A and B are shown apart, each in its own frame.
Chain A
Amino acid sequence: MIAPTFNLRHQGDHCLSLDFGDTILAETGLICLAAAEKIRQACLPGVTDVVPSYTGVAVHYHADAQTGLPNFQTLSEQLAALIKSGLAQTERTSRTIDIPVCYGGEHGPDLSDVAKATGLTEQEVIHMHCAPGSMVFMLGFAPGHPYIGIHDPLFALPRRDVPRTVVPAGSVAIANRQSTIYPTRLPGGWHILGATPLKLFDLDRPQPTLLLPGDQILFVPISSDEFDRLAAQQNQVQG
Chain B
Amino acid sequence: MSVIVLKPGMLSTFQDLGRFGQQHLGVSVAGAMDQRAHRLANVLVSNAPDLATLEITLTGPTLRFTKPCCIALCGADLSATLNGQPLALNRPLIVRAKDELSFGARQHGTRSYLAVHGGFALTPVLGSTSTYLRSAMGGWQGRALRRDDEIPLVQPLKNKALEELAMDLWALKIYLPSALAESRQPHVRLIKGQQWKEFTPESCAALLTEPYRISPDSERMGYRLQGAPLLMSTPRQMISEGTTFGTIQVPAGGQPIILMADRQTTGGYPKMAYVASIDLPRLAQMGPGDMVSFKAISLEQAQALEVARAQAFATLAQTLQPMRTLLLNH
Residue ranges of A at the interface with B (Cβ–Cβ < 8 Å): 9-15, 17, 22, 24, 36, 48-58, 60, 62-63, 68-69, 71-72, 138-145, 147, 183-184, 201, 203, 208-209, 212-213
Q: How far is the CA of A12 from the CA of B196 in the complex (A)?
A: 12
Contact A142 B264 (CB under 8 A): yes
Contact A17 to B242, CB < 8 A, known contacts A10-B299, A72-B303: yes
The answer to the question of B247 belonging to the interface, with a C-beta cut-off of 8 Å to chain A, is yes
Instruction: Name B278's closest neighbour in chain A (CB-CB).
Output: A13
Contact residues in B for A22 (Cβ distance below 8 Å): 239
A–B complex contacts, Cβ < 8 Å, 16 sampled: A9-B193, A10-B193, A11-B247, A12-B191, A12-B244, A12-B245, A15-B242, A49-B21, A53-B239, A58-B243, A138-B24, A139-B265, A141-B26, A143-B25, A147-B240, A203-B126
Residue in B26, B27, B241 with the greatest tally of chain A CB atoms within 10 Å = B26
- The interface on chain B, measured as residues whose beta carbon lies within 8 A of the other chain's beta carbons, has a size of 43
Q: Which of B50-76 contact A (CB under 8 A)?
A: none
Contact B26 A140 (CB under 8 A): yes
Contact A142 B26 (CB under 8 A): yes
Contact B239 A11 (CB under 8 A): no
Contact residues in B for A55 (Cβ distance below 8 Å): 239, 241
Residue in A13, A36, A213 with the greatest tally of chain B CB atoms within 10 Å = A13
Contact A141 B239 (CB under 8 A): no
Partner of B240, one of A11, A13, A63, A138: A138
Interchain residue pairs A-B with the least CB separation, the first 4: A58-B242, A140-B266, A12-B274, A51-B242
Contact residues in A for B219 (Cβ distance below 8 Å): none
Contact residues in B for A11 (Cβ distance below 8 Å): 193, 242-244, 247, 271, 274
Give how many A-B residue pairs fall within 8 Å (CB-CB).
141
Q: How far is the CA of A48 from the CA of B137 in the complex (A)?
A: 20
Partner of B306, one of A69, A145, A213: A69
Q: Which of B1-31 contact A (CB under 8 A)?
A: 20-29
Q: 9 more A-B contacts (CB under 8 A) besides A9-B194, A12-B247, A68-B310? A: A51-B265, A55-B241, A56-B241, A58-B242, A140-B265, A140-B266, A143-B135, A201-B135, A213-B24
Contact A51 B244 (CB under 8 A): no
Contact residues in B for A203 (Cβ distance below 8 Å): 125-126, 137
